[in-house]
Each structure stands twice: as C-alpha cells, then as structure tokens.
Structure 1
Amino acid sequence: MIYPPATHLNPHIHEDPLTFNPSRWKGKLESNRGEKNYLVFGGGIRYCVGAEFSKMEMAIFLHYFVTKCRWKDIKGGNIVRSPGLEFPDGYHIQIMPKNIGVL
C-alpha cells in the first residue's frame, strides 16, 4: 500500500520536508512523465478525497473568470503540446473587468 503523503516527507529527497514550501518541486518535476517521489492526488482506491473538491473550485474560478473578466495578451503565450499544454515562456496577460450590459 502506498501512502502518498509519506513520499513527500522523505528527508533524503526533500530538504526540510515538514516545512510548508509549495515551490519545493519547481524545476524538479519532468513535464512529460510522472515523478516517483511526488504523488499529487494518489491513485487507485486510495484517491485523495480533496481531488474532486479542488477540480470543482477550479471550475468555479474559471467560470467567473471567463464570464466577468476580459484580458489582453502582454507577452509569451507560445504553446507546446506534449501531451498537455505548456507555456515555456510563460503567458502574461492584463486582466480587466468585463463591462456587463454594454454591447
């Protein structure tokens, strides 16, 4: 049985694993493959109970972002598709409120 949080607490792999550091994996994960020392939501029958909740939160955020805001490209936005979408140069935008009711 795999206990996903235990894979994140190995001091031989992660420096100071008990300290909150959301960017600890930045630059360490390979974009095209999984990382054997990082399990985001677990898997199989032991799937993370928060996985569906986080997907719902993202769906709500995207709904309001698309319906209430508009944006203008600033720089970046070059897309690489392998197998998901990646923006190697980043994607910088300016966000403005959408004028509702004005045609």
Structure 2
Amino acid sequence: MPICCFGHAGDGNFHVNILFNSEKEKKALKVREKLLKEVIELSGTISGEHGIGYIKRSFVNLELSPLQIEMMKKLKKVFDPDGILNPQIKIPD
C-alpha cells in the first residue's frame, strides 16, 4: 500500500497517511490498526499537535489509561459544563 509520510523531522514528529481507494479500504484499515499498535508499543503516540480526530479515536484506549481518559472527561466538563462546544465530539470510553 502506498504511504505518505510528512512532518517535522527536526523534532521527530512524523505523520503517516495510508493512501487507498475504496477497493483497498478493508486492507488499509487493518494496516492502520497494526501501525498504530506498533507505534504505541514503541512508546510513540497516535497523535501529535492536531489531536486525535475521528479516524484515530477508537485507538485512544490503547494509548491512554482509564484514569487519563476520565481526567480528560472531567477537564471537558470544567471548561464546557453544558456540553455546547463540539457536541458531536465525544471523548472515547
């Protein structure tokens, strides 16, 4: 599968995008999952300065502990008690 890598080489911050069409989507999703798990095993992170986003949100629990996720939810509640900021964006369980 073609892969596009770009980023900030000076600080080791690389972005890896798998390029695929609809015919290769299933394979691309498996490759992405394997890649993200490998990144975490090597003490990397699945996200840099751009946040998690929709694509990687199902992988948050592989990188963060339940306590860290709970802290994120509590911080969200402090700064957005009524849930009006990006209501469609949820912190994964």
**TM-score, normalization by structure 2:** 0.31
Q: Whose strand proportion is higher, 1 or 2?
A: 1
Q: Whose helix proportion is higher, 1 or 2?
A: 2
**TM-score, normalization by structure 1:** 0.29
